[in-house]
Chains A and B, each alone.
Chain A
Amino acid sequence: MDRLTRRQVLKVLGGATVAAATGGFTGQLLGWATAQEPSRPLLPRPGRRVVIVGAGISGAMCARTLRKLAPDVEVVVLERNPTYVSGPSHVDYVVGLEDARKVTVTFDALVRDGVRVIRSPATGLRLQDNRVLTPQGFVEYSVLVLATGLVPAEHEVRNLLENRRLSPHAWTWAGTVELRRAVEAFSGGTFVLTVPPPPYKCPPGPYEVACLVQEYWRAKGVRAEVVVLDSNDRPQPPLLADLWRRVLQERGITYKPSFKVVELDPTSRVLISDRGERQRFDLASVIPPQRAPLFIEEAGLGGPFVPIDPATWRSRAQENLYALGDVAASPYTKSAFTAFLQGRNAAYFIARALGRDRGEPDPVFNQCWPFVSSKEALFVEVAWDKEGRPIPARNRTGAPSAQHVKDRKQWEYGLLRAVYG
Chain B
Amino acid sequence: MDTTRSLLSVILSELEMRVKKRQQRPPQQNRVEELKAKVEALVLQRDQLKAEIEANESVQKLRNLDPERSTLDGGDGSDRSVNSQLLQLMTRHAQLKDLLNAHHLIGGYDIIKTCQGKGVCVSIATLYRGVYLERYSLEIDVAPVLRIARHDVPPFVPLDRLAVRGGPLHTDFQGFLGTLSRHLNAYAGRKQQLKLVKEQHQSVEVMESNAPCSILVLMMTLPKKNVAVLCKLEYSEPTRCLPERVTVHSEDEELPETTQWKQNCTLLMETPVHEALASLIRNGVIK
**Do A and B belong to a common assembly?**
no
B residues in contact (CB < 8 Å) with A: none
